[in-house]
Amino acid sequence: MSRIGKKPIPIPAGVTVQAANGKVVVKGKGGELSLSLHPRISAKLEAGQVLVERPDDQRDSRALHGLTRALINNMVAGVDKPWEKKLEIQGVGYQAALSGKVLTLQVGFANAIKLEVPPGISCVLPDSTHIIISGADRQVVGQFAADIRTVRPPEPYKGKGIRYSDERVRRKSGKAMS
């Protein structure tokens, strides 16, 4: 049996979960998220917890069981306390600016790169070289952070680029002079 899938998901105070008709809806102070369940997977509420169940022990069912439980757990955690990703920009003249819902990145290209902030996500710039992305949906937060990092990933020689705040960039030495 799946070790992840069989664990019940506790529902914190201030969060409501509804599971019916193959759909799970989670509401909290961080917003509202919903997930359509695979036909073979079911979810039910029991004593302040969400239980995810599967009908058989087939390989696909086992995989979907753990995945569905993890997705619902991320939804419950996200509406209670928002998910957060921190990015930092390194390089001379590299900077970010936020105007409304558009993030503008100046990272060494001839033109500034403009990225639209997805709905339900907040983007904060404490200074021009740090970006904090937060929101209830873990997948959207992570994808937007990955999209920003893709604009100019850190390079191994000088370390210039956009990186996650906890990321370690492996540095290489340049040309060896003989």
**pTM summary value:** 0.90
Give the count of domains, the chain: 2
| Domain edge (last residue) among 56, 80, 104 | 80
- Verify that 68 and 141 share a domain, yes or no: no
> Taking a C-beta distance cutoff of 8 angstroms, is the pair 129, 94 a contact?
yes
Which pair of structure tokens corresponds to residue 24? 């799970």
> Taking a C-beta distance cutoff of 8 angstroms, is the pair 59, 22 a contact?
no
Q: What is the CATH number of the domain that holds 41?
A: 3.90.930.12
- Domain range enclosing 56: 9-80
Domain assignment present for residue 172? The answer is no
Q: Residue 110 — pLDDT band, cuts 50, 70, 90?
A: very high
pLDDT digits (tens, 9 = 90+) for 31-86: 999 999 999 999 999 988 999 999 998 999 999 999 999 999 999 999 999 999 99
Q: Beta partners for 41?
A: none
Q: What is the mean pLDDT of residues 148-162?
A: 94
Domain assignment present for residue 178? The answer is no
Which pair of structure tokens corresponds to residue 66? 């753990």
| Phi, psi for residue 117 in degrees, rounded to 5 | -75, 125
Domain assignment present for residue 37? The answer is yes
Q: Which residue shows structure tokens 């914190």?
A: 12
